A = this chain, B = another copy of it.
Amino acid sequence: MTSASKSPTKAEKSTGQIRLKNQQAILAAAAEEFALHGFKGTSMNSIAQRVGLPKANLHYYFNSKEGLYVEVMRNILDLWDSAFSNLTAEDDPASALAEYIRAKMEFSRRQPQASKIFAMEVISGGECMSEHFNHNYQEWFRGRADVFQAWIDQGKMDPIDPVHLIFLLWGSSQYYADHSSSICRVSGRSRQTKEDFAKATANLTHIILKGCGLTPPSKA
């Protein structure tokens, strides 16, 4: 009664659940649009239509288009960081690399939007992500490269520049997300199935492991 707000009349949504729910719905719709047209190419209107809300509501929950975009990117980078377990120099190279390829391909399959938004941002110069790149990313990158270098120093794999190995892992796996429309045209299907990804992963694992001088881990 004494409450001033109207829609959530009772304390039923007292913790701001509607707010959270709307925010997430907007973020999801924004991700779809940004993945299709990039930052500049996406309009607030198209996002609003996709969520089914007036576009004024978007500005109520997010200050500006750029603010919304940054939030979408932040979610993606969080997702990214949590998706891959850390490699260590003590791991068995073959199984660790195979597991990494599997996880990366699984990410391409389940989060293709994230890959696409990320790719568009990087192609456009990636200014928005400069802060992330200058800290977390470079550090993360060095960590992985050092692990590969340690394996090489221990004579466990061929002397391949770790930096370019990481580029290969990323480039080949993200291709299946970013270029999915092209892949579908070639294969004549409407979308890639789980089995398509399994086959792609198997092929990729075979080539990269063998190409690095590693023998595949036993199934057990």
Q: In the complex, what's the smallest C-beta–C-beta distance from A30 to chain B, in angstroms? A: 15
Q: Give A138 to B189 CA distance when docked, in angstroms.
A: 13
Q: In the complex, what's the smallest C-beta–C-beta distance from A89 to chain B, in angstroms? A: 20
Interface residues on A, range: 35 or more
Q: Helix, strand, loop or mixed for chain A's interface?
A: helix
Copy number in the complex reads 2
Q: Which of B41, B119, B172, B185 contacts A134 (CB 8 A)?
A: B185
Tell me, yes or no, whether A8 is within 8 Å of chain B by CB.
no
Tell me, yes or no, whether A170 is within 8 Å of chain B by CB.
yes
Q: Which of B41, B138, B170, B207 contacts A207 (CB 8 A)?
A: B207
Which residues on B sit within 8 Å (CB–CB) of A116?
A: 123
10 A–B contacts from the bound complex (CB under 8 Å): A41-B124, A119-B178, A120-B123, A122-B181, A163-B186, A167-B172, A168-B172, A168-B204, A171-B179, A208-B211
Question: A interface vs B, CB < 8 Å?
Answer: 35-42, 116, 119-120, 122-126, 130, 133-134, 137-138, 141, 158, 160-161, 163-165, 167-168, 170-176, 178-179, 181-183, 185-187, 199-200, 203-204, 206-213
